[in-house]
Amino acid sequence: MTALVIPTSTKGFEEIPRKWDNKHNKIVARVDPGAFYITAHDEYVFTRLGSCVAACIWDPLLGIGGLNHFLLPERELNEDWHELMSFSCRYGNFAMEQLINGILALGGQKQRLRAKVFGGAQMGKETVLNVGRSNIDFVKNYLHMEGIEVESEDLGGGWPRKVLFHPNSGKVLLKRLPVSGIVEMEREERVYLKDIVKEQTESKVELFD
């Protein structure tokens, strides 16, 4: 019996978990909140979303693409509203720039890029800033300003989602999860939100110029 050989990940993504999936007969790379992954291999990229948004972006000619997973901070997690809004904007831009610039660095062409976007659920209690809605507005406005066509989307609502993206073809497999899963997702996202706000408070380093 021949041992399965998993191709190495794209340079710079060695820490992204990747394993063989018998159901889909492909390698699946998992992207957690705050991360992104780019590949030219025949593999899937997986993520699970609540209020977070994932942008799936690829160059259809070369079959190079990737997925990011980001969540903008909300007002109640920081007393300095103006500082937090500034960080939210920079953080969202950083998440998108990493993905797009990474694809271009591998030979993708800006004018050919296409996108599919998912997530942004309204979860739990209402807050002054609807995090899911803010994530949706941000990603759609960003892609519009960059001139990247959004081919399809599944945004908003009150349910978590699972996304499997195949950058070689641009194909996406989407599953809406039971509303009962919201409590666990909300808990995970709030821990993540507090971590990124804490990082911003402690760090003196700018994300980009």
pLDDT at site 162: 94
Domain 20-202, CATH among 3.30.565.10, 3.90.220.20, 3.30.1330.200, 3.10.270.10: 3.30.1330.200
Q: Where are the domains of the chain?
A: 20-202
- Tens-level pLDDT at each residue, the chain (209 residues): 444 556 677 778 989 999 999 999 999 999 998 889 999 999 999 999 988 899 999 999 999 999 999 887 554 444 444 444 445 556 788 889 999 999 999 999 999 999 999 999 987 655 444 678 888 999 999 999 999 999 999 999 988 999 999 999 999 999 998 877 666 777 777 676 666 555 554 444 444 44
Contacts of 33 (CB under 8 A, 6+ apart): 52, 69, 70, 71, 188, 189, 192
